[in-house]
Amino acid sequence: MNQEKDTDSEKEEVRKTRPRLVMTPAVCMDDIEDPRTRQILCTETYTSVTGRLMRETLPSRVNVKAPLPAIPLLGDADPFALPKMRPPLVSREWRMETLSWDRWQLRLDYDQTKEFWLGREPTKCIKCDEAALIRTQRKMLRK
């Protein structure tokens, strides 16, 4: 009891000495003398609808435990094994047909058509650029 009075007197001292705190309903929280009023203001005004509904439903169900059946421990569970997955068997005739078809398929990263090659920008060649620069300099020296 004595410790509660000490903490209450400390709280009162803090409220009187700290900077003023005015919250949304335009009430200075330090001017509220009644702790019950202060508590109501804090809990009801600054609580969302969801928080209020949770607070209304949870207190009645805080200590509820799931009713588990009283089954004695029977030991380890009975393990079972799954059969290994095997790919389906493909007949040799079908496999040979797919291999012969697969050999004829083109495995390239680009399309070898005339439009592909003509539609590309020529690649920059450093050696070609240097040779062209040397040629132009020699022509300028001859003039």
In the structure encoding, which two tokens stand for residue 18, read together? 């700290």
In the structure encoding, which two tokens stand for residue 43, read together? 């809990």
Query: What pTM was estimated for this model as a whole?
Result: 0.26
Cα gap 104→88, rounded to integer Å: 25
pLDDT of residue 136: 93
Cα gap 15→34, rounded to integer Å: 13
Tell how far CA 25 is from the center of its chain: 38
Q: Please, are residues 24 and 44 in contact by the beta-carbon 8 Å criterion?
A: no
pLDDT grade, residue 110 (50/70/90)?
A: low
Reduced to 3 states, what is the DSSP secondary structure of residue 76? coil
Cα gap 10→42, rounded to integer Å: 20
Q: Give the residue with greater pLDDT, 29 vs 136.
A: 136
Residue 47 has pLDDT above 90, yes or no: no
Closest CA to 11 of 25, 27, 32: 32
**Residue pointed to by tokens 């009801």:** 44
Cα gap 21→10, rounded to integer Å: 17
pLDDT in tens, 12-40: 887 778 776 665 666 777 777 888 888 88
Closest CA to 44 of 19, 23, 22: 23
Q: Give the residue with greater pLDDT, 10 vs 111.
A: 10
